[in-house]
Structure formats: structure tokens, C-alpha cells
Structure 1
Amino acid sequence: MAGVEPEAGPAAGTANRARLGAVAVVAAVVVVVLGVLFAGHGEPSTVDRWLVPPTADSVRGPWRQVALALDFLGEPVGSVLLVAGCAAVCLLRRRRRAAVLVVAGVGVTVGATTLLKQVVGRTIHGAGNLSYPSGHTAFLTTLAVLAALPAAGRPGVGRTAGTSLVLAAAVTAGAAMGWAEVALGAHYPTDALGGWCTALAVTPPTAWLVDRLSDRTADADGRRLR
């Protein structure tokens, strides 16, 4: 183990911690504010109605298949397969720390969205269908952020470029899954925004915690070998 970890290096990098930390704080504030505003609600907000009019038809044709495919990635079977595949790729590349981060990052995000849904209690299509925040959107955004963090922390990548890379990945994944969930009528647009912000709020801190624990474990192993 001690011979693998130094080669793999940090899973998240260190150069962008301050900026991404600030992003995480802002995202957490947005999640809380939206949660307070929509607590116990069962109808779309004014913003939701403006973005998606009640009379708008659900997506049809080929785009519906795209939406369904994206939605599957956030379902239990699809998400497990995707996470397992990402972790397997990390292990094949001898990046054990990154594999742990994929599982831990997704686990924390799923746990956070599940807890928030119970606390906020916003529903869609009747009681029992908790909608805020969108777990699907948070899930795919988390994977995108985890994929971008190591690249953003590579030597030679400036802080601005690194932060922009992480945010671009988050926006791309969040917009894609958020569109699918809204188009399929599974979530309100503000649910998707809440899921996106939830991922941004919890994923960077989780990555840094995994790095710190991994460094301590590697140091302890090194002292035992000496």
C-alpha cells in the first residue's frame, strides 16, 4: 500500500482548496435558503412555473430517450453500475485513493440528499414523492466534480483554470441531469438547482477529508516499515 499511494498522489489536489471551499459555502447557503422557502410545499414555485409552464408537454421523441437514459444513471441499478465502473477504472490505474473517493463522495452526496428530502418535505405529484433536492442531479454532478478535481490539481494548471475546470464539469453534468429530471416531470427546476448545489457543497470537503485520512494512513505505514 505504501508503494502505491505516493504514485497515485492526492485525489483532490490542494491548489484550489480556498476557491472551491468558498464555492462549497455559497452552495450550502443556497441549499438551506431554498430548503426553507420550499419546506412542506407541494406545488411549483413562481420561478418553476416561469421556467416550465404547467401547460408544457413532457419531452418527446428521441430526446425523451436521452432523458430516460440520463435518468437511468441516477437510478439504483444505473448508479451502482456507474460507480462500480469508475472505481474499477481507478483501481486498474492503481489509484486506490481515487477509488475510495468515488465511493465515499457518492455515498456522502446520496446521504445528504436523502436526509434533506426528509427534512424539507417538498413533494411533487402528491404526498410521498419527495422532490427537494434532486438526488439524480446531485449524483451526476458529484461524479463530474470528482473526475475534474485531480486534473484541476495537476502541476502547471493555474488556480483560476483549475476552479473553472471543476465548475465547468459540474455545470455540464448538473445541467444534463437536471434537464432530464425536469423534462420527465420528476422534479421542479429548483429541485435540480438544490441537487446541484448540494453536490458542490459536500463533494470538495469529502475529497479533502479522504486525502487527509489517506495521507495519515500512508505516513503510519511508512513509519512501521522503517
Structure 2
Amino acid sequence: MAPHRRLTLEDDVLVWLHDDAPAAQVVSDLTELEPLAAVAIVVLVVLLGLRRWRDAIFFTAGVGVVWAVNPLLKELVGRSRPDLWPLPADVSEYSFPSGHAANTAALVGALVLLVRRLPIVLLGAAVLLCVGWSQLALGRHYPTDVLAGWIWALAWVGLVRNVTKGGPG
């Protein structure tokens, strides 16, 4: 932490949640883009195998655009990461919006809209909360980074669903 820097409310939240527990790191590792991409490929293969073309287009556009655009948003906003604890060297320079939050929200949101079953909604919500907690507990993002990632990804996925829905997929 920079000397004599006054802590903000967001810093206070990070201090309260800070935890170097292995569970936070495991959740963070599992929600890197590569593991999420493996899940997305399986979903896309299933949709294509079922000849659900419109759903496949929705899924690809909903998830793919978020994954492609989020790094550009980080560069555009240019918000530095929290500096309360040392961060790993492989963590990108900017934090807003959280890539883990946005990428996971896009995937979960698309799955929820495809399946439309309460257990998937509940599981998805739990996954998103775990991802948000992991990024805050590890000190890699401010709460507003995570919230912005969720909001923009879910809004985009919802918009794409409205554009691509129609008759049978």
C-alpha cells in the first residue's frame, strides 16, 4: 500500500474480505479464460449437435463478445488495481471491469437463458458470488470492478438473447 494513502470504502471492503486461503485461488484459477473456454466449447458442440442453430449463434455472440471486448474496456478505462497487497506478476495492469466477473457472468447468463431451470439459476448465482468473492479476497479487484463486470456482461447477454430469440433454435 502507498504510504499515507487514505483508505476508501472499497479498500475497507477488501481488507474485511482479504483471505489468502487456497479456496480463493482455486476459484480464481478455475474461472480463468481457458477453463471457461473449455466449458463454452462443450456447450457449443452440444448446441450444434442438437441443431439448435439460433441458440448456438446467441451463445457464441453473447459470450464471445464479452470475452473479446472486456480487455479493451480495461484499457479504455485504465483503472489501476488495488495496491493493498502484492499481486502476482501475471495479473494485468488494469482492473475495471473485472475479467473474471464479466467472463463468468457471460457464460453463466447464457447458460441460464438457454436452460431456464431454477437449479441452473441458483447454481449460476452461487458461481458468480464465489467468483466475485475470490477476486475481492485475493485483493485483485475493487467491488465496483466486479459489479461492473457482472452488469455489463449480463446486460449484453440479455440484449443478444432478445435479438436472436424467435422460433425454434
TM-score by length of 1: 0.57
Question: Is 1:53 aligned to 2:29, yes or no?
Answer: no
Superimposed CA distance per residue, residues 84-140 of structure 1 (whole angstroms, 9 cap, x where no aligned partner)? 1221222233323222322211112123322221121101167x6100000111111
- The match for 1:25 is none
1: CA distance, partners of 2:134 / 2:164: 31
Q: CA, structure 1 residues 211+45, in 2 after alignment: closer, same or farther (shift >3 Å)?
A: farther
Query: Structure 1 residue 169: deviation in Å?
Result: 6.2
Extract unaligned runs of 5+ from structure 2. Answer: 84-91
**Kept in 1: contact 2:105–2:128 (CA 8 A):** yes
2: CA distance, partners of 1:49 / 1:81: 34
1:83-98 to 2 correspondence within 5 Å? 83-98=40-55
Question: Is 1:123 aligned to 2:80, yes or no?
Answer: yes
- The match for 1:135 is 99
Q: CA, structure 1 residues 71+207, in 2 after alignment: closer, same or farther (shift >3 Å)?
A: same
**Greater Cα shift, 85-94 or 140-149:** 85-94
**Kept in 2: contact 1:87–1:100 (CA 8 A):** no
Query: Structure 1 residue 209: deviation in Å?
Result: 2.4
Query: Structure 1 residue 196: deviation in Å?
Result: 0.8
What letter is aligned with 2:19? S
Question: Is 1:74 aligned to 2:35, yes or no?
Answer: no
2: CA distance, partners of 1:73 / 1:82: 11
TM-score by length of 2: 0.74
- The match for 2:126 is 172
1:138-217 to 2 correspondence within 5 Å? 138-152=102-116, 171-211=125-165
1: CA distance, partners of 2:144 / 2:6: 9
Other structure's SS at 2:110 match = helix
Instruction: Tell me the number of residue pairs that the alignment of Structure 1 and Structure 2 aligns.
Output: 155
Other structure's SS at 1:59 match = coil
Superimposed CA distance per residue, residues 140-161 of structure 1 (whole angstroms, 9 cap, x where no aligned partner)? 1111111121344x9xxxxxxx
1: CA distance, partners of 2:100 / 2:77: 17
Query: Structure 1 residue 181: deviation in Å?
Result: 1.4
2: CA distance, partners of 1:200 / 1:76: 17
Structure with greater Cα Rg: 1
Q: CA, structure 1 residues 202+169, in 2 after alignment: closer, same or farther (shift >3 Å)?
A: farther
Aligned residues with identical type, % of pairs: 30
RMSD: 3.1
Query: Structure 1 residue 68: deviation in Å?
Result: 3.0
**Kept in 2: contact 1:113–1:133 (CA 8 A):** yes
